[in-house]
Amino acid sequence: MHDGSGRIAVQNLSKQFGAVNAVQNLSFTVEPGSVTGFLGPNGAGKTTTLRMLLGLVTPTNGTATINGRPHDQLGNPARVVGSVLENEGFHPGRTARNHLRVYSAAIGMPDQRVDEVLGLVGLSSAADRKAGGFSLGMRQRLALATALLGNPQVLVLDEPTNGLDPEGILWLRNFLRAYAREGRTVLVSSHLLNEVEQTIDQVVIISQGMTRYNGSLDQLRKSNQSRVLVQSADANGLVAALQEAGITQVSPMPDGRVAVSGATVQQIGDISAKASIAVYGMQEETADLERMFFQLTQGQYSAPPPGFQQQGPPPGYQGPPPGYQGPPPGYQGPPPGYAPQNTPPPGFAPPQQFQQQGQPPQQQQYQQAPPQQQAQQQGQNEGWGGQG
């Protein structure tokens, strides 16, 4: 039997598809009581890892367990773990209620649970509509309702914000945080840190199939990795001089400045003086979370997000706080082959979040759960438009 701990443990997990190393020696644990973000750029190996955890793909090496057991040894797994993976299919001619009844019967839950989960995801008023006519956001909710049927201790969601409008994202955030507060385990994958940043407390960051960071989001935020922006008489000369001195995280910026990580202002000043390059100014800049995520996963982006290099420190910024002690615990170094890239190659498509900015919110297409169903949510879900 499983140990009932709610813990997810991934140990030395690898998956090779022919020549593709989709996941390489990945290890992390996810504890109950918090929402953990499983983050990495497109193709990092998130879906493959989750599919191994859910028994849908056989690992080449290593183990992925829930409650100390692989998925196929969980007994009635739907009562332990609920999941929503990409491309969930529904019979288009079947109503939401009937779809849920089929699944509910298959895992031995009473029909009454169907109405409960419809209420939990705010689909009660659409219960008798055919799933074929549902919007993407509604299909996401129906998939979540299906995952919740077994009242599982562990919830695993792959890119759950896809297709949700801002209101839906807020609703999902409140729902997941409340679910975790009940002592359950929630693991949510995303390639967009900013979409899950306000939802998660713990984070596992992977890139190129390997773990880059595993720890609390707060710790990552507080680590204050900084860089120095240098205005000099000769940017190329300064880059060469710094690299010769063994400082490798050096990137010329479009505005003529040079961004340097892993070196102090004094070191940079000494190196430029030795190379006889005049320095007109230096600014220390603390990394924001988005930039740290980018740094941790940089090897896999084809180019930095637009504006990435241009960001300056906020007004009033006075350098890193006293006591800065380097990268956070859990940081496992830059990806192999990391090389700063400053100019997007031809055909560069910016990450999705930048394409999405400025789009009008979609019209709300279904109704807030009635009060008695909200009550069923044990105070956890504040409903549409609820406050985070």
Ligand X SMILES: Nc1ncnc2c1ncn2[C@@H]1O[C@H](COP(=O)(O)OP(=O)(O)OP(=O)(O)O)[C@@H](O)[C@H]1O
Residues lying near ligand X in the complex (CB under 6 A) are found at: 17, 20, 22, 40, 42-48, 191
312, 286, 284, 300: CA torsion to nearest 10: -80
Distances (CA, A) of 35 to 38, 180, 183: 10, 6, 10
Distance of CA 37 to the CA centre of its chain: 5
Q: Which amino acid is at 262?
A: G
- Least separation, in Å, of the C-beta of 26 and ligand X? 11
How far is the C-alpha of 23 from the C-alpha of 45, rounded, in Å? 5
Q: Considering beta carbons, is residue 19 or 339 the nearer one to ligand X?
A: 19
**Does residue 205 contact residue 39 with C-beta atoms inside 8 Å?**
yes
Looking at the Cβ atoms of 297 and 381, the one nearer to ligand X is 297
Residue 105's region, left for phi above 0, alpha for psi from -120 to 50, else beta, is: alpha
Closest distance to ligand X from the beta carbon of 177 (Å): 23
- How far, in Å, CA of 132 to CA of 256, rounded? 54
CB 300 within 8 A of CB 266: no
Report the b/e string of 190-221 with b at 16+ CB within 10 A: bbbbebbbebbebbbbbbbbbbbbbbbbeebe
Q: How far is the CB of 196 from ligand X (least distance, A)?
A: 13
Alpha carbons 190 and 206: distance in angstroms, whole number: 11
Q: Closest approach of Cβ 146 to ligand X, in Å?
A: 20
Q: Are 92 and 130 in contact (CB under 8 A)?
A: yes
| Pick 50 or 292: Cβ nearer ligand X | 50
> Which residue, 40 or 119, has its beta carbon nearer to ligand X?
40
Minimal distance, residue 347 CB to ligand X, in Å: 17
Residue closer to ligand X (CB basis): 64 or 238: 64
How far apart are CB 343 and ligand X at their closest, in Å?
24
Name which of 21 and 311 has its Cβ closer to ligand X. Answer: 21
Q: Which is nearer to ligand X, 43 or 327 (CB)?
A: 43
User: Cβ distance 286 to 320 under 8 Å?
Assistant: yes
CB of 75 to ligand X, least distance (A): 27
For ligand X, the closer CB: 45 or 328: 45
Give me the least distance between CB of 24 and ligand X, in Å please.
10
